[in-house]
Amino acid sequence: MKNGNELNREIIHKILDGDAAPDEQRDMLARVQADPALNEEFAELSRALRSVRTSERMPVPAFFTAEVMRKLPKKKMALKQRAWNFLFKGRALTWNMATALAAVGVVVLVFTQVVRVQNRPVETAAVSEQEQTALVRLSFHAPQARHVAVAGTFNKWKVDTHVLKKESNGLWTINLPLKPGAHTYMFVVDGKAWVPDPNAQSYDDDGFGQKNSVVRVSL
Amino acid sequence: MTRNGQMMRTLEKIFALLSVAGVMTLTFAMYAHAEGSGSNHLDEARTTIERSSLAKEAQVALLAKADRAVTAGIPAEDVAIIITRGLKQGVSGPTLEGFLETATVVKEQHLPSRLVLDRIEQGLAKGVPGERISGVTQNLSRHLATAKPMVEKIESSGVKPAPSGRPIAPIETVARALERSIPPDAILRMGEKVQARKGSMALFDRAIDTMTVFVGNGMQTEQASRMVHSAIERGYSEKDLGTMERYLAEGLRKNRSMDEIVSGMETRMERGEMRDMHESGGGMGGPGAGGMGSSWSGMGGPRH
């Protein structure tokens, strides 16, 4: 319940704010005239109001509201809520041209590498061949030879990667892991003489006037 | 600023850094995957070229051809082998460029390049003159271009595809047959016979290969064509065709004339004796069968 002074002060504020009804204003002004204390209070409030209205307005600094809000004590959130906000809360992204160009550069680089790898032609044989191999034993009788190697389609005709081992009675042998299919080969004796396997499964023209040996592997 | 806010900002920065690091790692990994093994071979080829006695202009031209070949999809290892082996054999720069050009054009025409690369590498390893290799491989590349539509025609005529996992290369097989002057007509007729027998492309591939082996060993084209067509009509399998090849090899080892071999083969086919006489293994003769030395080739069990 408001007392008389409080009611009078409330009506004075309404008059000064221009919110009082005409009758209310007339009655109050009559009471102010009659009561010196009330008159003094009314005069003081009127001066203060005039002073505020005539004083120069200070501009509100930018981000004033945001800064005030930031300084307000934060409501403590549960860990789950904080994690949710971290992942899904909407964010305003500040960016500059250099960062944007760098990001575009990274995307273009990744994209071109993906396209390059995907479009890189692959030898068809290499794609479809099974990884399974069969062990094929080749032997060659050459007692006088100092070195015997085998070169063929399976080793790109390299003369130094598949060397036969000399066993007793001048027999040279090697066990070759070969993939399914036909393989052509020749023995290379002492690094210079190309000799077909005398007992190969079959032979085929090598296109240069010699005969390659043929071995067929099936699993 | 509260402690929680600081922690969240730090977490955001770590998250952003991890994202950038992840993208960079992914990019590097993909680049390494694409270039990785090939770069070593190309470096080897580059070093060989730079150390060679070729003139500077010839070195630059050869390097450019090598780069183009790799870009077209020729494996860097093959490019390196051709250059290294060729320079070691004294093959000229322009001839080596010609080898790479032939392989690149084949690749760019979406034809299988393995046969051409194998022929170049084989010729260089055996010391065949560069010009001869060049002529052979250019011829081979033309045959590959002719073979492709022939194989496509046979495939579209209803011949079943090869069973999965069977490594066949019908375009290369047909190109080798054309190289031995086997007429396209005989090849297409083989396709019809395989189709009539409801055979697969694997049987077609093997039949053409057998025909090529016969001609390559001195059998007349008409004889080879007749023998293999007859075999397919009789329902011969791929293994049976292998038996025919081994019979031929054995006959040659015993110095029989080709007519004698053909006659013996036909007689045995009529008697039904030519079919899969040997399941697998090393030919028809054992150790000591060869005149100039003895050898034995055999197949061990499958290794997984």
Residue pLDDT, tens place only, B129-165: 999 999 999 999 999 999 999 999 999 998 988 877 6
Ranked by mean pLDDT, the top range of A41-50, B29-38, B39-48, B273-282 is A41-50
The CATH code belonging to domain A132-217 is: 2.60.40.10
CB contact under 8 A, A157 and B122: yes
- Whether residue A20 has pLDDT greater than 50: yes
Compute the count of residue pairs across chains A and B with CB atoms less than 8 Å apart: 194
Q: What pLDDT was estimated at residue B294?
A: 34
- Whether residue B206 has pLDDT greater than 90: yes
With tokens 């060729």, the residue in question is B86
pLDDT band at B4 (very low <50, low <70, confident <90, very high): low
Ranked by mean pLDDT, the top range of B12-16, B24-28, B144-148, B251-255 is B144-148
User: For chain A, first and last CA: distance in Å?
Assistant: 105
Q: What pLDDT was estimated at residue A88?
A: 85
Task: Give the range among B74-83, B95-104, B166-175, B284-293 with minimum mean pLDDT.
Answer: B284-293
Q: How far is A18 from chain B (nearest CA, A)?
A: 43
Average pLDDT for B186-209: 94
Residues 162-221 of B with CB under 8 A from A: 165-169, 179-180, 209, 212-213, 215-217
Which percentage of chain B shows pLDDT scores above 90?
Answer: 66
| A153 vs B72, B118, B165: nearest CB | B118
| B30 vs A74, A114, A214: nearest CB | A114
pLDDT band at B277 (very low <50, low <70, confident <90, very high): low
CB contact under 8 A, A142 and B293: yes
Q: Provide the angle, in degrees to the nearest 10, between the axes of the packed helices B221-233 and B258-271.
A: 10
Domain locations in chain B as residue ranges: 40-156, 158-279
pLDDT (tens digit per residue) in B89-115: 999 999 999 999 999 999 999 999 999
Closest residue in A to B248 (Cα–Cα): A202
- Whether residue B184 has pLDDT greater than 90: yes
Site from A95, A104, A131, A157 to mutate, B interface, most B CB atoms within 10 angstroms: A157
Strands A211-217 and A133-141, sheet pairing: unpaired
Domain locations in chain A as residue ranges: 1-86, 132-217
Q: What pLDDT was estimated at residue B241?
A: 94
Q: What pLDDT was estimated at residue B262?
A: 95
Q: Is the dihedral of CA B175, B180, B181, B184 positive or negative?
A: negative
Separation CA A176–CA B115 (nearest Å) = 21
Average pLDDT for B65-78: 94
- Whether residue B293 has pLDDT greater than 50: no
Closest residue in A to B291 (Cα–Cα): A198
CB contact under 8 A, B242 and A216: yes
DSSP reduced 3-state for A216? strand
pLDDT (tens digit per residue) in A120-179: 544 333 334 446 889 999 999 999 999 999 999 999 999 999 999 999 889 999 999 999
CB contact under 8 A, A208 and B294: no
- Whether residue B3 has pLDDT greater than 80: no
Return all residues near B34 (Cβ < 8 A) that are at least 6 apart: A113, A116, A117, A120
Q: What pLDDT was estimated at residue B258?
A: 95
Q: What pLDDT was estimated at residue B272?
A: 84
Separation CA B37–CA B20 (nearest Å) = 26
Q: What pLDDT was estimated at residue A12?
A: 86
Average pLDDT for A46-72: 81
Q: Provide the angle, in degrees to the nearest 10, between the axes of the packed helices B93-108 and B130-156.
A: 10
pLDDT band at B297 (very low <50, low <70, confident <90, very high): very low
pLDDT (tens digit per residue) in A4-19: 788 888 888 888 888 8
| B179 vs A138, A207, A214: nearest CB | A207
- Whether residue B298 has pLDDT greater than 60: no
- Global pTM? 0.66
Q: What pLDDT was estimated at residue B126?
A: 97
Q: What pLDDT was estimated at residue A121?
A: 45
Q: What is the pLDDT of chain B when averaged over all its residues?
A: 85
Task: Give the range among A52-66, B138-152, B194-208 with minimum mean pLDDT.
Answer: A52-66
Q: What pLDDT was estimated at residue B175?
A: 97
Contact A49, A16 (CB under 8 A): yes
- Whether residue A2 has pLDDT greater than 70: no
Q: What pLDDT was estimated at residue A14?
A: 86
pLDDT band at A117 (very low <50, low <70, confident <90, very high): low
Query: A135 or B26, which is more confident?
Result: A135
pLDDT band at B35 (very low <50, low <70, confident <90, very high): low
Q: What pLDDT was estimated at residue B288?
A: 30
Q: What pLDDT was estimated at residue A112?
A: 80
Q: What pLDDT was estimated at residue A79?
A: 83
Number of Cβ within 10 Å of residue A166's Cβ equals 16
Average pLDDT for B75-82: 94
